[in-house]
Amino acid sequence: MPKGQFTAASVVALLFALGLQSAHAEDAGADKKQKSAKNVILFIGDGMGVSEVTSARYYEYGAAGRMNFDEFPYTGFQTTWSVKPGAGPRYEPDYAPDSASTATMWATGKKTIDERLSQGPSTAIEVPGKNYKTVLEIFQKKGKRVGNVSTAEITDATPASLNSHISLRGCQGPKNMTLCPSETKANGGLGSVAEQTVDHGVDLVLGGGRARFDETGGLIQGGDDNGKTVIQSAERQGYKVIGTASELEAVKNLKKPLLGLFNAGNMTTEWSGPQAVPGDGVASHKCLRNNRPANEPSLSAMTKKAIDLLDGKDGFFLQVEGASIDKQDHAANACGQIGETVALDKAIGVALEFQKKNPDTLIIVTADHSHTSLIVSEDSSGTGNPTGYSDNLITKDGQVLRITYGTAGGPGPSPVPPSQQHTGAVVPIWAKGPGASAILGTTDHTDLFSILQGK
């Protein structure tokens, strides 16, 4: 090493020699001492790649600001590639996956094709694969309470991966089973995602998607609840069904499993703002907050209530998804996207507060896949200007943050942005608590299945 130059490792070594250990170093020591986690909380920011996190940090807290993400002592990366249909046993890689195949990876520890949930690959998308056991099912068998929270329809791909097995993610409710005919209950299958969600006996389910469970979602065909709605099936199986923030606040225990459905579809975004437009983009502005109506609980409120209700002597497993980071990225809506990322970060703060009193809790934060948004220069001109859709936000620093979207549209962009595409870049992963160091380096989403179990 040349004189006067220091590597990051040498600086850390020097600090340790001087006894100047950081809080992160103390956390690392705690990780080594604690062998297994009693409680496991997994946060998923759907579509939350490095750029999405950075945009939220800069906008909300400024360039020098820090988020709850940044308190975690361990950070790594995960690859997210899925596989293409084929004859097997070897399947070709698909580098830019969807949320169903990626969620299946950490839910089961195995790769599958896009659109498929906790079920193996096969020769074609319309040919069901083999059902895989999920981490939620494993924790249930161990006697832990289990919970599933999302700001999307609770039957959407990410939450559905934990408690359903189906060949196509779109088969969410009884009336959506046209493309999954062999998997209906009438034909001896497990039924739609909504049906499987309540049949699984998940202790706590909170999110959107009520229309998949009530009469608008169709009636169950076959099985013990033939001719009933999924809500009626849930109630028969002992669930308490609620639909508002005040009803959620009033729940004090899990004497009955809880099904909270707070919107007919996806839950309303926390923030709002204009969609991006081509070229220089929308004139610089700030985002509008408080977009979610009072009858829909915040992600923080759902997370806190979930932890309070699930906490017990045998421990729990909880997955929490900030779903509309992805959905607003698709829509090229920077404010919607950033608001959902900030909301997820606040929910992570709730979990960190719980962990302070319960150090036997492992918290992991990651994304299912990367997405399209990029931070680009706002003072370029001519050929330096972005060719996609752009928005210009005024940050905490009072400066312009230009975010651009350019993965869909082709030549001759339309006034309304077409749905932007996922990207195949690795995603960040953060962890704190027993076994957290297992995420260091570059791992794969399938590795998360074992890491969650402390293996």
Neighbours of 391 (CB within 10 A): 27
82 is catalytic: no
- Under 8 Å CB-to-CB from 43, ≥6 apart: which residues? 319, 320, 321, 322, 344, 347, 348, 351, 363, 364, 365, 366
How many Å apart are CA 366 and CA 50, to the nearest integer?
A: 10
Q: Are 455 and 109 in contact (CB under 8 A)?
A: no
**Under a CB-based contact definition with an 8 Å cutoff, are residues 314 and 144 in contact?**
yes
Q: Check if the beta carbon of residue 79 is closer than 8 Å to that of residue 115.
A: no
Instruction: Please write down the HEC assignment for all residues of the chain.
Output: CCCCCCCHHHHHHHHHHCCCCCHHHHHHHHHHHCCCCCEEEEEEECCCCHHHHHHHHHHHHCCCCCCHHHHCCEEEEEECCEECCCCCCCCCEECCCCHHHHHHHHHHCCCCECCCECECCCCCCCCCCCECCCHHHHHHHCCCEEEEEEEEECCCHHHHHHHCCECCCCCCCHHHHHHCHHHCHHHCCCCCHHHHHHHCCCCEEEEECHHHCCHHHCCCCCCCCCCCCHHHHHHHCCCEEECCHHHHHHCCCCCCCEEEECCCCCCCCCCECCCCEECCCCCCECCECCCCCCCCCCHHHHHHHHHHHHCCCCCEEEEEEECHHHHHHHCCCHHHHHHHHHHHHHHHHHHHHHHHHCCCEEEEEEECCECCCEEECCCCCHHHCCCCEEEEEECCCCCEEEEEECCCCCCCCCCCCCCCCCECCCEEEEEECCCHHHHCEEEEHHHHHHHHCCC
Catalytic residue chosen out of the listed positions 51, 99, 101, 161: 99
Amino acid identity, position 340: E
Catalytic residue annotation: 99
